Amino acid sequence: MALVIREYRQEDATAVRRCLVELQEFERAIDPRLRPGEAMADGYWDNIHVRCAEAHGRVFVADQVGTVVGFVAVLAAEPFTELSEPPGTYALVTDIVVLPSQRCRGIGAQLLSHAEAFVRAAGATELRIGVLAGNAAARSLYRGAGFVPHLEVFIKRWEPPGE
């Protein structure tokens, strides 16, 4: 079936929201502390729009014969904020998701490729993406697309006192 990666349109809102909920629930299976998808989707989507406006970002959807089956949100000019970082900006994939029924068909790779082409054309020289350590499929996709680990964050959890 013909797949087209295209820029998000307002009429995609319901389908993209469904993708956001799916992504959040998938990540909740890895980290159950995360908020339920239905509880965070609308506010999170609003935040994506704000971040795109601030950092020359775009949302691209994977459209399979008129049905949105995934999306990627990418910022072309996210500013470095730490004093230890270089001056300037970098590009950032904030979110990428492909619906479960459409996974393992190369759609994620096509979304990443489209996002990269967009930020390259915008003048970015570095593209970053975050991933939960337990998301083996995404880590494999990103490595296959040429990404390499840059920073790992280790966590240690414990129960609050008195519990």
47, 70 Cβ separation under 8 angstroms: no
Using DSSP's 3-state secondary structure scheme, residue 134 falls into coil
For the chain, what is the mean pLDDT?
94
- CATH topology for 3-144 is Aminopeptidase (3.40.630)
77, 56 Cβ separation under 8 angstroms: yes
Residue (of 11, 9, 8, 42) closest to 24 by Cα position: 42
The tokens for 13 are 């809102």
Instruction: For the chain, give every domain's residue range.
Output: 3-144
pLDDT at 9 over 70: yes
Residue (of 30, 119, 131, 26) closest to 78 by Cα position: 119
What is the mean pLDDT of the segment spanning 8-23?
97
What is the mean pLDDT of the segment spanning 13-31?
96
- The pLDDT > 70 percentage for the chain reads 99
Per-residue pLDDT of 138-158, as tens digits, reads 999 999 999 999 988 888 888
Q: Which residue has the tokens 């399979």?
A: 64
What is the mean pLDDT of the segment spanning 102-116?
95
